[in-house]
């Protein structure tokens, strides 16, 4: 994909609030029809970046273009973007239909057409027949749907979503995640989502930009981001990652021979060093679900020995903290709970099966 096909294009964007450096040298391209997420902890600049795209903040330096047009000096009301606010920003003095139709006033539609489009938009978000209700009488989930309908009715090139699901309870949030994906496929509009919830970003996005301290740390598709995080920081932010000390024994051709604390000898490919080449002392990361407890001693891969240090039962899964022999800090692994599979007690000696293909090495 070349950058001239990009719908939103940022080049070397910096943003200062007084002395505070909110965005540092951000360059990225967002392509038409993409579900793009900005993921990071609070204060990482993801919301600032979204508000910059929306036109509520100026860039201090660098350029931002949308649809090939430079957005410098273009106010929010003239940009082809619409936003779903974190607070939803539903106008409390208007009805649901008046809220949804708010942006249509400046359009050339007749009254009838406007009315039809409002009911279509409400239908689309599953609020058909709610038009006459007062906005303040809606539940959190319904307000969110109104905010979505109000933004989508204007058929923007880009829909910006600022933590739209963070105010909803878990069940409703999961339901809305699926609905948002469905909606995005249906309307074909580019979605840019800001979230601090890595799980949400993984579930919903085509691509994710992970941000720390105003900088883009990594920009990848969800699978690659999860399996090959580009740095320890990203690895720790996305899901759970165990880190073990290691040192490089040999480094020949495409293979890297390591001695990993607690696991032992391992040979990994060069693609398993996503953060750049490693040498000498290094760290090796491994995800909890890539390891298994060997209840009967019959693993065909490499095996490590350890003692169960903690057991956390989740219903579908059990998380074990295991103290590997020779490693003081326990590592976490997860096991699917199946019929006939026991949950081990704390203090039990056990064998851990692992796969060298699941390792990632960082210098």
Partner 1 sequence: MGEVFWVGGRVAVRHLDRDSRRGLLLVSPTAIYAILLLAVPLSAVVLFSFWTQDFLTVDRTLTLANYREAIAEPLFRVLMLRSLTISAVVTAVTVILAFPVAYYVSFHVRPDRKALWIFLITIPFWTSYLVRVFLWKVILGFNGVLNTSLQGIGLIDEPLTFILYNANAVVITLAHAFAPFAILPIFVSLEKIDRSLLEASMDLGENRVTTFLRVTLPLAMPGVVAAVLIVFIPTVGDYVTPRLVGGPDGLMIANMIQTQFLRLNNAPMGATLAIIAMALVTVVSLIFVGLNRRYLRGQKR
Q: Return residues touching partner 1 (CB under 8 A).
A: 54-56, 75-77, 81-83, 85-87, 89, 91-94, 102-103, 105-106, 134-136, 150-151, 154
What tokens appear for 73 in the block?
A: 């000096």
What's the closest the beta carbon of residue 81 comes to partner 1, in angstroms?
A: 8
Query: Of 149 and 286, which CB lies nearer to partner 1 in the complex structure?
Result: 149
What's the closest the beta carbon of residue 160 comes to partner 1, in angstroms?
A: 9
Phi and psi at residue 264, to the nearest 5°: 105, -150
Neighbours of 34 (CB within 10 A): 21
What's the closest the beta carbon of residue 175 comes to partner 1, in angstroms?
A: 23
**What is the DSSP code string of 304-333?**
EEEEEEEEEE-SSEEEEEEEETT-SS-EEE
What tokens appear for 220 in the block?
A: 């990848």
What's the closest the beta carbon of residue 93 comes to partner 1, in angstroms?
A: 5
Pairing of strands 35-39, 207-212: parallel
Tell me the C-alpha to C-alpha distance, in Å, between residue 37 and each of 199, 209, 210, 257, 312: 11, 6, 8, 36, 31
Spatial CA neighbour of 86 closest among 191, 169, 160: 160
What's the closest the beta carbon of residue 142 comes to partner 1, in angstroms?
A: 13
Q: Put residue 316 in one of left, alpha, beta given phi > 0 → left and psi -120 to 50 → alpha.
A: alpha
Question: How remote is the C-alpha of 335 from its chain's centroid?
Answer: 24
What's the closest the beta carbon of residue 303 comes to partner 1, in angstroms?
A: 56
Query: Of 146 and 361, which CB lies nearer to partner 1 in the complex structure?
Result: 146
Question: Cα separation of 298 and 63, whole Å?
Answer: 59
Query: Of 2 and 77, which CB lies nearer to partner 1 in the complex structure?
Result: 77
DSSP label at residue 159: E
What's the closest the beta carbon of residue 279 comes to partner 1, in angstroms?
A: 50
What's the closest the beta carbon of residue 26 comes to partner 1, in angstroms?
A: 21
Query: Of 58 and 236, which CB lies nearer to partner 1 in the complex structure?
Result: 58
Query: Of 88 and 226, which CB lies nearer to partner 1 in the complex structure?
Result: 88
Tokens 């981001």 correspond to 225
Query: Of 165 and 208, which CB lies nearer to partner 1 in the complex structure?
Result: 165
What's the closest the beta carbon of residue 282 comes to partner 1, in angstroms?
A: 46
Query: Of 137 and 267, which CB lies nearer to partner 1 in the complex structure?
Result: 137
Query: Of 138 and 225, which CB lies nearer to partner 1 in the complex structure?
Result: 138
* Extended strands (E) in the chain: 8-17, 20-30, 35-39, 61-66, 69-70, 81-84, 158-162, 190-195, 207-212, 215-220, 242-252, 255-260, 264-269, 281-286, 292-294, 303-313, 317-324, 331-336, 349-353, 360-362
Query: Of 79 and 173, which CB lies nearer to partner 1 in the complex structure?
Result: 79
């Amino acid at each position: 994909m070349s950058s001239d096909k990009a719908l939103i294009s940022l080049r070397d964007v910096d943003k200062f609030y007084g002395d505070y450096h909110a965005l540092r040298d951000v360059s990225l391209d967002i392509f038409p029809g993409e579900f793009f997420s900005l993921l990071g902890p609070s204060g990482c600049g993801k919301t600032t970046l979204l508000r910059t795209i929306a036109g509520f903040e100026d860039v201090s330096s660098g350029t931002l273009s949308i649809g090939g047009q430079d957005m410098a000096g273009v106010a929010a009301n003239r940009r082809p973007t619409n936003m779903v606010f974190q607070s939803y920003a539903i106008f409390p003095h208007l009805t649901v239909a008046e809220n949804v139709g708010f942006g249509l006033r400046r359009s050339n539609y007749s009254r009838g057409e406007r009315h039809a489009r409002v009911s279509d938009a409400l239908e689309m978000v599953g609020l058909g027949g709610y038009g006459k209700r007062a906005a303040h009488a809606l539940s959190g989930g319904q307000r969110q749907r109104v905010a979505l309908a109000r933004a989508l009715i204007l058929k923007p090139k880009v829909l910006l979503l600022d933590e739209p699901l963070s105010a909803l309870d878990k069940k409703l949030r999961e339901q809305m995640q699926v609905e948002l994906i469905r909606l995005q496929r249906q309307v074909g509009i580019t979605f840019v989502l800001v979230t601090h919830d890595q799980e949400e970003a993984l579930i919903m996005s085509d691509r994710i930009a992970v941000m720390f301290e105003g900088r883009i740390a990594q920009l990848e598709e969800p699978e690659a981001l999860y399996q090959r995080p580009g740095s320890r920081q990203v690895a720790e932010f996305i899901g759970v990652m165990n880190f073990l000390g290691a040192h490089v024994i040999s480094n020949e051709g495409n293979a890297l021979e390591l001695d990993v604390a607690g696991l032992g000898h391992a040979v990994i490919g060069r693609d398993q060093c996503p953060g750049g080449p490693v040498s000498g002392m290094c760290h090796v990361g491994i995800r909890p679900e890539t390891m298994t407890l060997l209840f009967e001693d019959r693993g065909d891969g490499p095996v490590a020995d350890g003692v169960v240090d903690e057991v956390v039962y989740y219903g579908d899964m059990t998380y074990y903290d295991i103290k590997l022999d020779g490693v003081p800090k326990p590592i976490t692994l997860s096991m699917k709970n199946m019929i006939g599979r026991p949950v081990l007690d704390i203090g039990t000696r056990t064998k851990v099966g692992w796969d060298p293909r699941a390792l990632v090495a960082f210098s």
